[in-house]
Structure 1
């Protein structure tokens, strides 16, 4: 059981109580000084400045609390993504927190965001799809709706907690999907099983050796002329000075294309997805020609 980010005992409850009291005190001060700013006659100027000062302190406290929350769910700051030992890459474990953050970052439109990425996969009814590093299954569920009852969708993720939540979401959706606990570099599937392998927002969690192993595994589980779609963050066009809570890495898709070519894939096209600094590369196994 993964226990990082959790604390027990009286210290935790005491700390929470102190934080709650501090927030309550700050909110009371801000409310009081805002009242003075509007109705305090001679104290208007002083009230406004003091309210602004306490407002800044309150904002700082909120940022610290949010940062701590993101760290606990495995998404905050550098090095807090989750387990990265044993050479399996970075693993996110806080499934509920992951879904919450996804809703926030996509302004409640995660389903639409995933469907936008799926359009690049050009799924057809009846196809067998593998979603690698599937997380809590949102993209896999959307893929199942596209391939229909004659098609099959399998999701694989290194986090057992993510898989458990994905299964629950699939059950609620009334769709028949398969979710398996496993790693990208050692896919637990037979050879030539899938028509397409999809990997979205997962390459930046893998080291270069693990990426190479994943590409070889993707080629193995794909059918002849099977397709591979990879989507991940490229470098942003404009550099922001604002702090970023989720410091994801960046992936050079041209470098990934070279890796695919070296591994026997035939690269189709590379480009921008058109949202959130995402880039893609599409390729086919080209097994028939190489045979």
Structure 2
């Protein structure tokens, strides 16, 4: 978090605050944020904890707020999967991004778009 605090700012950046917490139990009041971003974090949570984390993200968003989810997508090729599994670990190599839209909807969001950023996002 210290790195993020040092890097924020600059002429064109919006004010930003950083807090550590538990994704499944965010210690903030309802409607605290617009937008909410989860970037390369969900695959670190146990699969059973992901729905609760997304529900909390929904709870702390203001009405009409937006959620941006950025997650690793396992490579399609066998070589890519072996490289990812060997280089960054099991969680990313077997990340079920195909379940994300359903998890996001079940948490109370409306999915308005999605897509890939190459090579593995």
TM-score strictly above 0.5: yes
2:39·2:69 contact (CA, 8 Å) conserved in 1? yes
CA distance in 1, matches of 2:61, 2:115: 23
Partner of 2:42: 203
CA distance in 1, matches of 2:105, 2:11: 29
CA distance in 1, matches of 2:28, 2:44: 22
Partner of 2:25: 186
The higher radius of gyration belongs to: 1
Q: Which has the higher strand share?
A: 1
Pair 219,147 (structure 1): closer, same or farther in 2 beyond 3 Å: farther
Pair 266,232 (structure 1): closer, same or farther in 2 beyond 3 Å: same
2:72·2:97 contact (CA, 8 Å) conserved in 1? no
CA distance in 1, matches of 2:46, 2:66: 23
Q: Cα deviation per residue 1:9-51 (whole Å; 9 max; x = unaligned)?
A: xxxxxxxxxxxxxxxxxxxxxxxxxxxxxxxxxxxxxxxxxxx
CA distance in 2, matches of 1:246, 1:136: 21
Partner of 2:17: 154
Partner of 1:245: 87
The normalised TM-score by structure 2 is 0.78
Pair 264,198 (structure 1): closer, same or farther in 2 beyond 3 Å: same
Q: Which 4+ runs in 1 deviate beyond 6 A? A: none
Partner of 2:101: 257
Which ranges of structure 1 fall in alignment gaps of 5 or more residues?
1-133, 156-179, 279-291
1:186·1:214 contact (CA, 8 Å) conserved in 2? yes
Aligned-residue RMSD, C-alpha: 2.7
Q: Cα deviation per residue 1:93-138 (whole Å; 9 max; x = unaligned)?
A: xxxxxxxxxxxxxxxxxxxxxxxxxxxxxxxxxxxxxxxxx69428
The normalised TM-score by structure 1 is 0.35
Partner of 2:114: 270
CA distance in 2, matches of 1:221, 1:261: 16
3-state SS of the aligned residue for 1:268? coil
Matches within 5 A, 1:125-136: 136=3
Partner of 1:219: 58
Which ranges of structure 2 fall in alignment gaps of 5 or more residues?
none
Q: Cα deviation per residue 1:130-184 (whole Å; 9 max; x = unaligned)?
A: xxxx69428x945x55873xx43233xxxxxxxxxxxxxxxxxxxxxxxx23111
Query: How many positions carry a matched residue from both structures?
Result: 116
CA distance in 1, matches of 2:62, 2:73: 29
Q: Which has the higher helix share?
A: 1
Question: What is the CA distance between 1:198 and its match in structure 2?
Answer: 0.9
CA distance in 2, matches of 1:147, 1:218: 26
3-state SS of the aligned residue for 2:65? strand
